[in-house]
Structure formats: C-alpha cells, structure tokens
Amino acid sequence: MASLSDLPIRDDLRGLTPYGAPQKHVRYALNVNENTHPIPEPVAREIIESLAHAVLTANRYPDREFMELRESLARYLGHGLTADHVWAANGSNEIIQQLLQAFGGPGRSVLGFPPTYSMHPIITAGVGSAWVTADRDAGFDIRPETAVRAIEQHRPDLVFLCAPNNPTGTGLALETIEAAYDATDGIVFVDEAYAEFMPKDKPSALTLLPGRERLVVSRTMSKAFAFAGVRVGYLAADPVIADALRLVRLPYHLSALTQAAAVAALAHAPEMLAMVDDIASQRDRIVAELPALGYRPWPTEANFVLFEGVENPQATFRALLERDILIRDVGIPNTLRVTAGTAEETSFFLESLAALGPGGAR
C-alpha cells in the first residue's frame, strides 16, 4: 500500500493529522457531546413522512436556496431575524469551511484562543490559512482587553470565538465580542454550538448582529436538537454574508432529504428540545458531585464538563472504557471531558469514576 508521502499532496498538508475522536460502539458514549436522548417517536414519524415526500421528487435538484429551511431556522432563532439573515450547511463545520473559503484562504490568517474547538484549526489548515493563537486569561476566560491585544498583535483576517467554549465549557461575555469586533476590520465568528444549554438569562451573540455586518454567529442542530446524524448547521448574520458564501458553496449542497428532515424537526422544536433542561441538570449534578470524588470541575455553560485532578488521563480513559464508558481526553494535562447524558448514564459514569478511587486509574 502507498503512503501519503508517495502522493503529490499539498506541501502544507504534509504531516497533519485528521480529526479523530474515537468512534467505538459502547453502551455509554459520552465523548462527542451528542444529545444522548433519542428523537421523540411522534416527531420521528413526522420526519419520516416528510422524507417520503422528498424522495418522491428526488429526481429533481433540491431548492438551492433552501428557503423553507431558512424560514424555519429564522423563526426558531427569533431576534427579528428573517430567512435572508440565515444560511445553512451540512453541519456547522461546513458553515465554517464556507466562511473560510470566502474570507480566509491562502495568505490569510485566523486568530483563535486555545484550548478551543479542535476543528477550528483543522478547517483553517484545509483552506490554506494560517492559524494563529493567543492565550486565554485565568479560568479559560477571554477578557475584552485580552482579545483586543491579540487582534492588534496578529492583525488576523478572521477572529474565531467559541461561546460556550469547547472543550472547557467556559462562557463568553458579549463585551469581549463587541471589543473584538471594534478592534478588527475582519470577520468575527462566534461558534454557538451549545447556545441552548447556556443559562436562560445569558444573552446570545445574536443580540449583537444589528449594525455589525462582519459578525457571524453559528449554531448547529447536532447537539441540543438531537440531530447529529442528519448534519445541519447554520449561521445568522447580515444578509450580505450569504452573498459571499454563495460564491464558494457547491450548488445544491443541502440535499432535499436534509432539508425535509430539518424542516420537520424544526416544526417540533419544543418536543425536540424537551430534554435540554434535563441534560443541563445532569451537567450541574456532575459539577456538584465531582468535588466529593476529589476532582475539580470547571464551570460550564454547555452540555459537558471538563474536570481536573486526573492523575493519568489515558489510564482513567481506558479504565472507564473497560466499563463501556467512552469519554474524552482533550489533551489538557490532568483533565478529562465528559458529556452530560441521561440520569442513568450520569449515575453510571459517576459510580464508575468513584470506583477507580481518588485521582482515577494509574
């Protein structure tokens, strides 16, 4: 078999590693922040019905502008947004890719604040842009002046913020987003994949959109909506942003089946989101119970918890896997990350961790 080095691959891709969260069949899959609750059966039936209709006309290309879906997404988001403000793709990862194809590309740079979502640098590399980084403040926070200083130092073409931040769970103040926007002429991108899990009184970056045509806020149906397998991500921004993305997207990039499934699910948003409060309460339970086991959980506004005090993360990861629990080693020393699932999943995780003793497996 040939190896990559035998191919005339781009020089800047040599030596890179692809996204690689382990995909294992386990009873307790708490590693990629999916919604562990299944889609409610009555909603699943309605989705199947609209898929059936879409199949009957699948000899034709789908609506290239996916207007019905954009109208549904705008209605779901509220904040006075219309279909023109919304754009969708096959997961928010594709949203990010299109954004980088339009505003990044070779010779341009993207500023990020690690530890953050691992796909941000990978998609950046994929379009040939440079990923430049700046440190966070204590507690993984990013203060407005920290963002401004990094922007003045690096002069990036795009600034990537993740709120709440994956893998730490840290929330982000709107003041930081506003300050970043004022400090750059580039695009400010806020990844709100976990927005539905934020405290109810916490404002979204969507509230900052009016008058800021370089601000882009992305969301996904993969997490709160229990729709990871369908692949639907979307953004809200000034309508001119969609004009830019039309230049780089592939025609008909959202299949008729994807559009049909998403529209049907959004028509039942309250049922699809019914488990969000429950998941948030399991998350809060993990945060409340970990200290008694000798761990230090970081404050989190998402559906996962990053916790410190793990003596040997790889050994503890493996010991939990032996009990059919898959969590995530995100590469931060002495920490692991776990997704909040059902009450039963949470109990089994906490009991299993307790059984390993203080500090986890050696």
Q: List interacting residues with ligand PLP (CB under 6 A).
A: 33, 91-93, 117, 162, 166, 191, 193, 220, 222-223, 228, 233
Please give the DSSP secondary-structure letter assigned to residue 149: H
Of the candidates 302, 228, 233, 170, the residue with the CA atom closest to the CA atom of residue 34? 228
Q: Is 143 exposed, middle or buried (0-12, 13-18, 19+ CB in 10 A)?
A: middle
CB of 351 to ligand PLP, least distance (A): 27
CB of 58 to ligand PLP, least distance (A): 24
CB of 33 to ligand PLP, least distance (A): 6
Alpha helices in the chain (DSSP H): 41-56, 67-77, 92-103, 119-126, 144-154, 174-183, 239-246, 256-266, 269-272, 276-289, 313-322, 343-355
CA–CA distances in Å: residue 66 to residues 56, 84, 222, 249 = 18, 11, 19, 13
Cβ-based nearer residue to ligand PLP, 117 or 349: 117
Cβ-based nearer residue to ligand PLP, 30 or 361: 30
CB of 118 to ligand PLP, least distance (A): 9
Cβ-based nearer residue to ligand PLP, 190 or 361: 190
Cβ-based nearer residue to ligand PLP, 117 or 181: 117
Of the candidates 174, 176, 158, 168, the residue with the CA atom closest to the CA atom of residue 117? 168
Residue with tokens 């005339």: 8
CB of 89 to ligand PLP, least distance (A): 8
Cβ-based nearer residue to ligand PLP, 141 or 289: 141
Positive or negative, the CA dihedral 165, 171, 176, 181 is positive
Long-range contacts of 148-152, Cβ-Cβ distance < 8 Å, separation of 24 or more: 148/179, 148/180, 148/182, 148/183, 150/111, 150/113, 151/111, 151/180, 151/183, 151/184, 152/183
User: Which residue of this chain has its Cβ atom nearest to ligand PLP in the complex?
Assistant: 91
- Contact in structure between 330 and 272 (CB atoms under 8 Å): no
CB of 23 to ligand PLP, least distance (A): 14
Angle at 18 between CA 99 and CA 31, to 5 degrees: 95
- Contact in structure between 166 and 117 (CB atoms under 8 Å): yes
CB of 117 to ligand PLP, least distance (A): 4
CB of 177 to ligand PLP, least distance (A): 15
Cβ-based nearer residue to ligand PLP, 186 or 233: 233
Cβ-based nearer residue to ligand PLP, 245 or 361: 245
**Sequence-distant (≥ 6) Cβ neighbours of residue 114 within 8 angstroms:** 133, 136
CB of 300 to ligand PLP, least distance (A): 12
Residue 67 φ then ψ, to 5°: -65, -40
Cβ-based nearer residue to ligand PLP, 263 or 319: 263
Cβ-based nearer residue to ligand PLP, 85 or 120: 120
- Contact in structure between 190 and 205 (CB atoms under 8 Å): yes
